[in-house]
Structure 1
Amino acid sequence: MSTLPELTGVFARLASRIETRNSETVIDDQSDDVLVEDLNQLLNLSEVPRVRVLDTALSLMCFTAPQVFESVIDYSVNTIVSVLSSSIDCKVLRFGKSEVLRVGGSISGHDCLGVMESCADVLGKANEHDLYSISCFEGMLSCSLLYAVLRVAAMTTQFGYTMQLTPILNVQLTDEMIPAISKLVCYMPKEVSLENQELQMRLILWYLDPQNLVKDISQILQDVVGRPFICLNEELYEKINWRSIITCLAFSPLMFIETRALLHRWFLLTGLTSVLELEVELVSMVLDILLRPMWWGLSAEIGSKLPFSCAYFLFKHQLFRILARPLSCDRFLELVHNIKKSVSHSKRKLKHAATTNSMVDHKSAWAMAMNFPDWFYFAALVLSGASFSDSSICEVNEDNQPLTSSILANAAWYIAWILDPIDESVCALLAEKLENLSRSLTNKPLNSCVHKKLKKPKPSTSQSQTIRLWLEELKDAKTIDVKNNVMFRRIILGMLIGCSDAIDEDGYELLLHYVATGMLLQSTESQYVGFKHKRWNHEFLDKCSRKEPVTGACIVFSLTDIAEKISDSVSETREIAVDFICKVKFKAVGYLLKCLKRLLQFEIGENNDILVKDLHRRMLRWRHQGKDVFHGYKDLDDTINVITSKFS
């Protein structure tokens, strides 16, 4: 079979047999009771005598009509797949003294369009006549046909490499192929598995039409936005369709880079937290696949073929290597030093440039740092005065002499740079204000350089008030757009974790509410014997819409997730790390329950069933993070029972 008409002829005969298979009265289980003559007549697809003799022989050997039809379809599909596979070649072409290695398909772009249309017609007829229920056409058979056609379509773009390894690209893909590709996408398997062929098929579709990648990522994002209580890292692993997308990104560094750039552009355009969180989780999941591929269902052989990290992070790879390591003070100082050097280099390059977009695009150091937010929260912990397991927290020069720049100054600069990576004067002003806040919280003198562990702040009810006054001062200064800056309010999350011993529950509630809504509740004072006790006015929470309690509960979940991620890095033992998480939970549980009780007052419709299930799962997970320390806590038990009753 050497010509395209012969190949399309096989496609045509296959389509015809599928229609015949559906239109004939097929007898399966009762075939033994059918006379040989009737079965012979049923099997005749041609009036050629030798075919009639063959059909009679098959019937005498107890082959039923469905089996014959299935066998014909099976061999036809395998023939097409073999022909398409053999059309892809790898040749060495000689031009005088030079040699060129050409990799591509022998089927031209125009002819490939006809093959794709024929394949779509066959798959359409199979779907129309419910042929997927036949064992011979389900599973790998239909996948093999679709994969072979897509592979040929991809290889119509031929690459040539000279002996000097200079690529020569002969692009033969045409706009007319895009509609044909779109038709084939409809026949992708609904139940996605992690078979290597199905993963490669998705990658080919992304390559042929990048809009397929955009659709896959935007569908995940749409689901994430519609499910605020979703535990994203667990869902990305457990949902097979999502996991296949993550695995495909791990197989293709090029597609991973494109996806990261896509989400980063969306984040710059929208400023939505959900977009940033999805980007962060995608990066985290791909790195996890590289670290433990077998846990993701990949064989050891496939896992060993995955590229090194440098293929996925072509830009700022040295910075990536620091960010991807465990948190510690000395690594944080190394990180800040590396970023400052990178920022200085970028600004020198921008002296003659008309725009500063490159300071925040997907290739920038800022974009890389945004993908690893744990360092941001670590810097906020430093500002709060939390203690760490490594004792060296001050920069030294080559002679091992302390420098005037302490870890506190570096933490303030790093947070300020994340908040405003472009304007150097704004960054410096923010860093100064962050340092002042930190010194107010920890009662440290200016320009101090510490060589011992940071001590926990003494228990004091004034810590939350100090942060509150600082927020009001910064808001009045209008240094940055506090309301719309995604990362600004999240500084408070790191401080709440670091100051969990020093801030009481009312102060925790005040600051959590600010992180969730951007509003500072007014305080009401009541006089007690010997001291003043402050409580916050919850009238706003009582009258709020459905959005505010949802956001508030999500903030508590995020707070605990952050504490869980960084607990091992800032604790000397696992027991201390668990205690670290539990302190945060104890302080936040009151605000969480108030948000949930308010949320449960709203009507839960059928369309929100998935939201309630996500919330129930989240609550059970939150309760056991670190360890369950709420035995006999009636309010929490009652709230979880009410949530359970909503969908049971």
Structure 2
Amino acid sequence: MSRLPEITDLFARLASNLETLNPTATNEDQEAIDLSISHLNQSLNLEDSSRVRVLDTALSLMCFRAPQVFDSVIEYLVKTIVTVLSSSITCKAFRFGKAEFLRVGSRVSSRDCAGLIGACAAVLGKLEGHGLLSQSLLYAVVRVAVSASCFRFGLEITPILDVKSIEGGTPTVLKLLSRFPRDISFENQQIPLRLLLWYLDPLILKNDVSNILQDVIRRPFLCLKVAFHERTDWNSIIICLALSPATFVETRALLHNWFLMTGLASVLELQIELVSLILDVVSRPMWWGLTMDIGLKLPFSYAYFLHHHQLLRTLDGPLSCQNLLCLVRSTIKPASHSMRHSDSPLTQHAATKIGMINYKSQWSMAMNFPDWFYFALTVLFSGKSLHDNFHSEGTVEAAEPGHSHDPKLPCSTAAAQYIAWVLSPTSESHQELLVECLAKISESWALKKCTDKHNKETSGYRKKLKKIKFQDKTDDCALLQEYDCKTIALWLGEFQDTHASQGNSLQQNVLFRRISLGILIGCSNGINEDGCQLLLHYAATGNFLPLTETQIAGLKHRNWNSQRQDDSTAWFEKCNIKEAVAGTCLVFHLTDAVESMSTSLFENEERGIDFICRVKIRARKYLLNCVKKLICIKIDEEDGFLMLRDLCSRLARWRQQGKDVFQGSKDLDDAVDALSHKLSSIQTVSA
């Protein structure tokens, strides 16, 4: 019963019975069923001439009806098929001469699996309404197909790949996907069906990842962390990846290659989130719904990253200057050594560069932990004030003399080297230029801060304060904000000139623009909302928000505060929808990064919450201007409706991150109400 003809004969009998039993049978069909029962009765009679109807009498006494009998026939026939398929998978040791061999797999050949899957697909649709029979049958067939070997053995016991056996497998496997369950089950600790299908056909894994990526691209405000918890099919994908480190390695390699080919930030965002979630499942499996037994069987995190285990330990550890120095030492020096001693031909040199950025490289692993990039930016611009801004024992202090790292290397220099390596991992000379460039950028910002502080203490500044009578402290802040905004604009101009001198690679441009966010994270106390708008818009789009005459020339009217509000609104008149989407996404991602960083930078939870709220307060004005722009768009397609719905949910979540510091904020309340009203009106029209 382990060969294909016998198994397909069972499927044929099952299909025949399913054709006979139709839930929507008419009276004529019911008569046909009763006639079949009568024929079955005759086979149970002791004598052909006997008038004793054994089965009819038994059914009548037990109050059974004919459809119930057929349900039982189908149930036990399916169980028979499942048992036969399961028994075909064996683990057997045998001898050949003096050698011993261990055979693990199915006695059904891989060549016959296409026919087996086809027979299963033909009856799965008819098993609807029969409970879990269809899933148990599907699981048994897929398990046999996965266990079947693509190799055949001759008398010489030399394995030969049977190419014909694997041809045409994908079309037959695709027939099963329509009956594929979305959730995941660990009944009897079986391997999840989705994971078996990935083993059977890797193209299914690629399609699953591609479908998620398409949602990420067309829904820019979708919170992946929440979606992977709430969406059943996405949640099952994460669990299956956690159960199979080899499959996770393939998925990470696939996304990394897509990122290198396209440069899309959405691809990198999905890859980063998958890495974060897998590490989370490994660290707390029961929180993800896994049983204790399954959780104890999960491998260590190193199994999911086959290379650079020591680097993984550092990247997954707490943010600190000591660990940053460790990253610089472990990532940059090996790259410099390989480039310095590379005397190979041009093709080998190109292969070396490709190897430095493939999915096995240190750079690929570092890109999955963006908190270190933002931390390096913070260190770069904070300078000596780093300890004051992030007072936490053992997290921000540099290496002590006698430490294994170079005690002469300042933490800010290490930050510049790490950023340069992330921006240009394949060129040592370009890294050196970037380090010099970053040093000039940070020095330029430090000079702007010193000049700002000096100007505030000059007599001309104080004369202006005395000349204009302010009614309250708000007007005083307005004067300071005017100059801060102008200072940011001047610094961004210098930054853009430096940026233009470093090349025009799309990937490099996106990362290079985000360098300016280090000011917002580490030095946001000295920047007002208008200055933050300039920084955020440039980091998101690479463009400048146009300064108004009031902001350039200085304070000319006493009623500057109301004029400033008009100027702020005028900034966004020339911004398009694409820029508004990019700006909104940047604020959300920046807040998520700051929230993740706060757990390492502060031992005191309250200080960490204050850190998150400080960045939120500085970014609030820019976020609201972007949201107001998005509310005005016309929604004609489903994607537009989903985008606004995601925006409403993300805005509500952003408001609560850290803590809600915007209670009573009329602007934010109005934005949320406007979004909700627009969504309600769209749903009403659609209905």
- TM-score using structure 1 length: 0.88
**Contact residue 106 and residue 144 of structure 2 kept, 8 A:** yes
Task: Confirm or deny: 8 A CA contact 2:336 2:428 kept in the other structure.
Answer: no
CA contact (8 A) 1:104 1:158 kept: no
Question: 2:582 matched to 1:551?
Answer: yes
Give the aligned CA root-mean-square deviation in angstroms.
3.2
Q: Is the 8 A contact 1:271 1:486 kept in 2?
A: no
Asked if 1:338 is matched to 2:311, the reply is no
Q: Which residue of 2 aligns with 1:244?
A: 236
Partner of 2:468: none
Cα shift readout 1:127-163 (whole Å, capped 9, x = no counterpart): xxxx41x2xx233x211111111111111117999xx
Cα distance, 1:40 vs. partner? 5.4
Could you tell me which of 429, 434, 451 is aligned with 2:433?
Answer: 429
Unaligned runs of 5+ in 1: 28-33, 445-457
User: Does the Cα contact within 8 Å between 1:512 and 1:555 map onto a contact in 2?
Assistant: yes
| Matched AA of 1:601 | C
Where 1:569 maps in the other structure, the secondary structure is: helix
d(CA) in 2 for partners of 1:159, 1:25: 47
Q: Aligned residue for 2:555?
A: 528
Whichever residue aligns with residue 185 of structure 1, its letter is L
Letter in 1 for 2:529: E
1:489-534: CA deviation from partner (whole Å, max 9, x where unpaired): 2222233111111211111001111122110223232432799999
What displacement does 1:46 show?
A: 4.1
Partner amino acid for 1:192?
D
Q: Is the 8 A contact 1:105 1:158 kept in 2?
A: no
How far is 1:42 from its partner? 6.0
Taking a change above 3 Å as real, the CA distance of residues 475 and 177 of structure 1, as seen in their structure-2 partners, is: closer
| Amino acid of the structure 1 residue aligned with 2:274 | L
Distance 2:271 2:44 in 1: 64
> Contact 1:143 / 1:198 at 8 angstroms: preserved in 2?
no
The separation in 2 between residues aligned to 1:400 and 1:258, in whole angstroms, is: 36
Measure, in 2, the Cα distance between the counterparts of 1:95 and 1:271.
55
C-alpha distance in structure 1 between counterparts of 2:218 and 2:380, whole Å: 35
Partner of 2:207: 215
**Structure 2 counterpart of 1:417, which letter?**
W
Q: In structure 1, what is the Cα distance between the partners aligned to 2:447 and 2:236?
A: 51
Q: 1:564 to 1:478 in 2, by over 3 A?
A: same
2:663 pairs with one of 606, 628, 631? 631
**Structure 2 residue identity aligned to 1:99:** E
Q: 1:351 to 1:402 in 2, by over 3 A?
A: closer
Alpha-carbon distance in 2 for matches of 1:415, 1:149: 51
> Compared with structure 1, are the counterparts of its residues 21 and 349 closer, same or farther at alpha carbon in structure 2 (3 Å cutoff)?
farther
Query: How far off is 1:614 after superposition?
Result: 0.9
- 37, 44, 54: which one aligns with 1:43: 37
Residue pair 1:582, 1:626 contacting (<8 A) in 2 also: yes
Of all paired residues, the percent bearing the same amino acid is: 48
Q: Does the aligned pair in 2 maintain the 1:102–1:160 contact within 8 Å?
A: no
Distance 1:291 1:278, change over 3 A: same
Give the drift of 1:43: 2.9
Q: Deviations over 1:527-556 (max 9, x none)?
A: 327999997776562133322212211111
Kindly indicate whether the alpha-carbon contact (under 8 Å) linking 1:394 and 1:402 is maintained by their aligned counterparts in 2. no
State the distance in 2 between where 1:231 and 1:25 align.
Answer: 48
The one-letter code sitting in structure 2 at the alignment partner of 1:473 is D
Once structures 1 and 2 are overlaid, which stretch shifts more, 494-503 or 72-81?
494-503
Partner in structure 2 of residue 371 of structure 1: 368
Return 5+ residue gaps in structure 2 as ranges. Answer: 46-52, 449-479, 681-687
Are residue 156 (structure 1) and residue 124 (structure 2) matched? no
**What SS does structure 2 have at the residue aligned with 1:298?**
coil
Deviation at 1:344, TM superposition (A): 3.7
CA distance in 1, matches of 2:158, 2:316: 33
Judge which range, 587-596 or 254-263, deviates more. 587-596
Which structure has more helix as a fraction of its residues? Answer: 2
SS of structure 1 residue aligned to 2:91: strand
1:357 match: secondary structure: helix
- How far residue 561 of structure 1 moved from its aligned partner, in angstroms, is 1.1
Q: Distance in 2 between matches of 1:230 and 1:514?
A: 23
Q: CA deviation at 1:241?
A: 0.3
Distance 2:247 2:340 in 1: 31
Letter in 1 for 2:257: R
Moved more, 106-115 or 327-336: 106-115
Report the secondary structure of 2:360's partner residue. coil
Query: Is 1:567 aligned to residue 594 of structure 2?
Result: no
Shift of 1:306: 0.9
Amino acid at match of 1:370: M
CA shift at 1:399, angstroms?
7.0
- TM-score normalised by the chain length of structure 2: 0.83
| CA contact 2:546–2:571 (8 Å) conserved in 1 | no
Show the counterpart of 1:113. Answer: 114
Cross-structure match for 2:418:
414
How much has 1:49 moved relative to structure 2?
Answer: 3.3
User: What secondary structure sits across from 2:94 in the alignment?
Assistant: strand
